[in-house]
Structure 1
Amino acid sequence: MTAEQPTILATSGGIKRGVRTGWEFSELTTYAVELAGVTGRAPKVCFLPTAGGDAPDYLTLFYGAAQVAGYEPSHLQLFAMPNVEDITAHLLAQDVIWVGGGSVAGLLAMWRLHGVDEAMRAAWEAGVVLTGVSAGSICWHIGGTTDSFGPQLRPVTNGLAFLPYSNGVHYDSEAERRPLFQRLVGDGTLPAGFATDDGVGLLYRGTELVEAVSEIDGKGAYRVEPSGDGGAAVETNLDVRRL
């Protein structure tokens, strides 16, 4: 089973501290899996830990969370070599692809080197639900703000651009994120886009934003667009549905 149309849930959440495992999936990831419409079997969820350098600990956390959730897990790693023979075939066989956080700049470089960008587009167009957190949110968009290059946030502008918008993550938890995102949109470095507080996700069908959803009470999502007046940006609160 796959979604009826290309579907992305781009988030600043989806995981939480586990009780018996390091991670458990929280409501945003559960919702992404529900969007795939799987019935009668365990959902197939593939993890891409590229942004975290394919760290073994990252994989352990994912597999523990998948076990608790009852998913059929797999992963695609690229260091020191891809762990599957046919990347496109592996991704197309999934119900959900979950992309972890870390360096979005490194993720994009490695994906393009190994053709994961084209494989992801094929999976997205086939209805495999794409989701993830932080770098796994920005990557689907044109760009956003990132600490990939160092502690001081900088723009990344070479995202996969499946979605023709910019994306701001961790909007309420990292003080530099909001003003920098607004400045970059205002001066045209990034196009108009959407931002999420921690615990919030953006559901896109095709390239249209359908809704913002949250796994934490009181959290927000925002539309940010240039004002056309001296490089400023206008921020508008979006309606957010509590999962």
Structure 2
Amino acid sequence: MAADEPTILATSGGVAPDHRLRWRVGPLTDHAVELSGVSGRAPKVCFLGTACGDTPDLTRDFYAAAQQRGFHGSHLQLFTMPNVDDITAHLLDQDVIWVWGGSVAGLLAMWRLHGVDDAMRAAWEAGVVLTGVSAGSLCWHAGGTTDSFGPDLRPVTDCLGLLPWSNGVHYDTEEQRRPLFQSLVADGTLPAGYATDDGVGLLYRGTDMVEALAEVDGAGAYFIERGADGPAVETRLEVTRLR
């Protein structure tokens, strides 16, 4: 099963607290699965924890959450070696690919080393729904802001570029995010782009952002572009609340 066109749901969310598990699947990730159009069987969801170094407990937590939600879960790990023989074939066989947060710089380096970047493009073009949180949101874009290099945020300008826009995550909860993102767009380091408060996702059809979605009340999404002269211009977008 595949989406009708290349589809990405890039988020600052997608998980929720749970009284039994470390975390459970949140409404944004549920929506990514719905976008794949699967019916009559368990949706196939592949998890990538590359940005956290493929931490075993994170993978374990994914399988617990996937079982609870009724997904047919799998994972792609790259440390200490890939766990599948053919990465492209494995990703093409999924309905949804879910990328976790962490170091986007480390994620990009490992993906390029193992050809995951090309495999992701092939999956995207084939209609496999791509989703993820934080680094798993930034990675699809042209660039954004990251703490991959230390506590002081820095720009990252060499993401996969499936989407021509820049991306800002955790826009309302990390104080450096908003001013740095705006300054980088204003001076041309980053192209115009979209930012999300925690609990918000951006739905892209092809390379067009078509809808902002929230799994928490009051959270926002924003379009940031270069001003005619001086600071960047930020426009708050309409957000659809998921239930």
Q: Say yes or no: TM over 0.5.
A: yes
TM superposition score normalised by structure 1: 0.99
User: Separation in 1 of the partners of 2:57 and 2:26?
Assistant: 19
Structure 1 counterpart of 2:69, one-letter code: A
**What is the distance in 2 between the residues matched to 1:50 and 1:136?**
10
User: Between the two proteins, what is the percent identity of the paired residues?
Assistant: 73
Write the mapping of 1:38-187 to structure 2, written as runs, cut at 5 A: 38-187=38-187
Distance 1:197 1:211 in 2: 14
Deviation at 1:99, TM superposition (A): 0.0
Query: How do 1:189-208 and structure 2 match up within 5 A?
Result: 189-208=189-208
State the alpha-carbon separation in 1 of the partners of residues 47 and 168 from structure 2. Answer: 22
Q: Which amino acid aligns with 2:63?
A: Y
Q: Which residue of 2 aligns with 1:239?
A: 238
Q: Which runs of 4+ in 1 moved over 4 A?
A: none
Q: Does 1:19 align with 2:8?
A: no
For 2:45 and 2:22, locate their aligned partners in 1 and report how far apart those are by CA, in whole Å: 18
Q: Tell me the residue number matched to 2:188.
A: 188
Letter in 2 for 1:33: V
Q: Distance in 2 between matches of 1:59 and 1:18?
A: 17
**Aligned residue number for residue 225 of structure 1:** 225
| C-alpha separation in 1, matches of 2:203 and 2:16 | 20
Q: By how many angstroms is 1:228 displaced?
A: 2.9
Distance 1:121 1:42 in 2: 24
Write the deviation string for residues 155-211 of structure 1: whole angstroms up to 9, x where unpaired: 000000000000000000001100000000000110000000000000000000110
AA partner of residue 234 (structure 1): V
Distance across 2 between alignment mates of 1:147 and 1:16 = 23
CA distance in 1 between counterparts of 2:134 and 2:101 reads 5
| Counterpart Cα distance in 1 of 2:176 and 2:62 | 29
Residue 239 of structure 1 aligns to which amino acid in structure 2?
E
Residues 89-146 of structure 1, C-alpha deviations (whole Å, 9 max, x = no match): 0000000000000000000000000000000000000000000000000000001000
* One-letter amino acid matched to 2:221: A
Matched AA of 1:123: A
Q: Describe the SS at the equivalent of 1:130.
A: strand
Unaligned runs of 5+ in 1: none
1-structure distance, mates of 2:226, 2:81: 42
- 1:64 is displaced (CA, Å) by 1.0
Q: Aligned equivalents of 1:81 and 1:228: distance in 2?
A: 49
Unaligned segments of structure 2, at least 5 residues = none
